[in-house]
């Protein structure tokens, strides 16, 4: 579509909005005496037909903001243009301030070569630090997921030592001014976590004593995916209600075009996650994009907090948080409900409060 210079506003609105959103805008325009198309606003007469001759008038705008303003509406972000309540929210001043990439302070889900990743712990940490993050959580798989080389407890302790040594080095470099220029003012730290497998019987891979030593724990269901809904839901709720589990990773367990969603009682999952403050992940891996935008919006309505994570298995995939942000924006997600928009200290305080939230 080629458009005249300086007239892009209505073209952009038209081609980024759904059919339903555009129909609503046309109705508003018609009530005001205008016919709206991608080419602009055309003055119409009482019979609804475009005026001709000296009375003909076409109004065009350079920007989307101007096009919406002509209808007495604030700018509506492209991701919201679905006729899912955005017109009403715009009129009443309730449009969300959508989360952006810049809002993320860290990433709560990533892997190294110790399980099924490609790069070393140090390489993953350095790559995250050079992206300006305050923290990256290393979450290699737990013991029973043998296909992903899950870690035995002794390996967990070895990993803990490496992470402590790296963080000591990062602290020294920040103190002596040799840290990368992208390092944020609060510094960068690699946090020690795990991706904890929820076994077919609902048990968790590590005992509570070991889990309590991690900085953050994400839990997930990978195996026995064809169990009945009640059993799959029970397994997920076991993880949510554990005092040491902080995030449910890719909650639907889907792989796009490969694995269907888990058959869960989603309302029960939302209720338990909201009650315990257990975050539900928006996984940015382009193979997953899980939670979906529809489920994420319902989760927030139910009072849940979210994380937006990369699930990176190499340094390049650390950028996959952007796909999670795109999904979150479609879900009307604001920064305040995303756990990893918080500072490192705030994140760790949220984690430390989990036992109190579940009464443990």
Which residues are CB-neighbours of 133 under 8 A, at least 6 positions away? Answer: 104, 105, 106, 107, 184, 188
Q: Where are the domains of the chain?
A: 8-91, 101-358
* 174-208 pLDDT per residue, tens: 999 999 999 999 999 999 999 999 999 999 999 99
% helix / strand / coil in the chain, to the nearest 5?
40, 15, 40
CATH level 3 topology of 101-358: TIM Barrel (3.20.20)
pLDDT at 289 over 90: yes
* 211-256 pLDDT per residue, tens: 999 999 999 999 999 999 999 999 999 999 999 999 999 999 999 9
- Give, for 272, the enclosing helix (H) or strand (E): helix 266-276
Q: Do the domains at 8-91 and 101-358 have one common CATH topology?
A: no
The H-assigned helical ranges of 53-207 are 64-70, 86-91, 121-129, 153-176
Q: Looking at residue 3, what is its pLDDT? A: 87
Calpha distance 309→191 (Å, rounded): 14
Nearest alpha-carbon partner for 288 in 153, 53, 109: 109
Calpha distance 195→193 (Å, rounded): 7
DSSP code for 320 = G
Query: What is residue 306's three-state secondary structure?
Result: strand
Nearest alpha-carbon partner for 99 in 337, 281, 261, 270: 337
> Looking up tokens 């995916």, which residue turns up?
225
Residue 156: pLDDT band with limits 50, 70, 90: very high
Structure tokens, 272: 């338990």
Phi–psi pair at 181, nearest 5 degrees: -60, -20
Name the class of domain 8-91.
alpha beta
Q: How far apart, in Å, are the Cα atoms of 11 and each of 14, 17, 29, 34, 70?
A: 5, 10, 15, 16, 14
> pTM of this prediction?
0.94
Pairing of strands 279-283, 306-309: parallel
Structure tokens, 77: 């972000």
Q: What angle do CA 173, 108, 287 make, to 5 degrees?
A: 125
* 237-247 pLDDT per residue, tens: 999 999 999 99
Q: Looking at residue 359, what is its pLDDT? A: 86
Average pLDDT, the chain: 97
Provide, rounded to the nearest whole percent, the portion of the chain with pLDDT above 70: 100
Calpha distance 273→93 (Å, rounded): 29
Q: How far apart, in Å, are the Cα atoms of 46 and each of 22, 23, 41, 49?
A: 22, 20, 16, 8
Q: What angle do CA 314, 164, 155 make, to 5 degrees?
A: 65
Instruction: Taking each helix axis as running N to C, give the angle between helix 153-176 and helix 121-129, from 0 to 180 degrees, rounded to the nearest 10.
Output: 40
Q: Which residues pair with 35 in a beta bridge?
A: 42
* 89-114 pLDDT per residue, tens: 999 999 999 999 999 999 999 999 99
* 30-84 pLDDT per residue, tens: 999 999 999 999 999 999 999 999 999 999 999 999 999 999 999 999 999 999 9
Residue 288: pLDDT band with limits 50, 70, 90: very high
Nearest alpha-carbon partner for 225 in 257, 264, 196: 264
Residue 1: pLDDT band with limits 50, 70, 90: confident
Q: What angle do CA 22, 25, 26 make, to 5 degrees?
A: 85
Task: Say if CB 254 and CB 221 are below 8 A apart.
Answer: no
- Alpha carbon 212 to its chain's center: 25
Query: What is residue 163's three-state secondary structure?
Result: helix
- Alpha carbon 228 to its chain's center: 28
Pairing of strands 279-283, 189-197: unpaired
* 159-171 pLDDT per residue, tens: 999 999 999 999 9
* 333-354 pLDDT per residue, tens: 999 999 999 999 999 999 999 9
Nearest alpha-carbon partner for 120 in 142, 344, 128: 128
Calpha distance 134→129 (Å, rounded): 7
Q: Looking at residue 360, what is its pLDDT? A: 67
């Amino acid at each position: 579509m080629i458009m005249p210079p300086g007239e892009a506003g209505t073209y952009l609105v038209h081609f980024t909005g759904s059919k339903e959103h555009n129909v609503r805008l046309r109705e508003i325009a018609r009530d005001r005496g205008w016919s709206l198309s991608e080419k602009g606003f055309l003055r119409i007469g009482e019979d609804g037909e475009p005026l001709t001759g000296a009375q003909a008038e076409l109004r065009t705008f350079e920007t989307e903001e101007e096009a919406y303003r002509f209808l007495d509406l604030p700018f509506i972000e492209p991701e919201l243009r679905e006729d899912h309540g955005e017109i009403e929210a715009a009129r009443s001043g309730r449009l969300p301030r959508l989360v952006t990439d810049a809002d993320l302070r860290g990433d709560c889900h990533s892997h190294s070569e110790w399980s099924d990743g490609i790069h070393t712990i140090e390489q993953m940490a350095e790559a995250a630090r050079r992206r300006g993050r305050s923290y990256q959580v290393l979450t290699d798989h737990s013991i029973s997921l043998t296909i992903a080389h899950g870690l035995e407890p002794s390996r967990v302790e070895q990993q803990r030592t490496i992470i402590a040594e790296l963080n000591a080095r990062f602290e020294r470099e920040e103190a002596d001014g040799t840290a990368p220029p992208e390092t944020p003012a609060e510094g960068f730290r690699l946090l020690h976590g795990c991706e904890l497998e929820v076994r077919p019987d609902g048990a968790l891979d590590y005992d509570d004593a070991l889990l309590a030593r991690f900085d953050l724990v994400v839990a997930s269901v990978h195996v026995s995916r064809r169990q009945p809904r009640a059993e799959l839901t029970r397994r997920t709720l076991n993880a949510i209600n554990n005092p040491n589990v902080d995030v449910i990773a890719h909650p639907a367990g889907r792989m796009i075009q490969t694995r269907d969603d888990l058959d869960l009682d989603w309302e029960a999952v939302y209720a338990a996650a909201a009650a315990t403050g257990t975050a539900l992940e928006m996984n940015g891996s382009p193979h997953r994009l899980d939670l979906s935008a529809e489920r994420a919006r319902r989760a927030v309505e139910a009072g849940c907090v979210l994380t937006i994570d990369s699930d990176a298995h190499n340094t390049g995939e650390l950028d996959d948080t952007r796909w999670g942000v795109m999904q979150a924006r479609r879900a009307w997600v604001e920064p305040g409900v995303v756990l990893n928009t918080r500072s490192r200290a705030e994140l760790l305080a949220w984690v430390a409060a989990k036992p109190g939230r579940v009464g443990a």
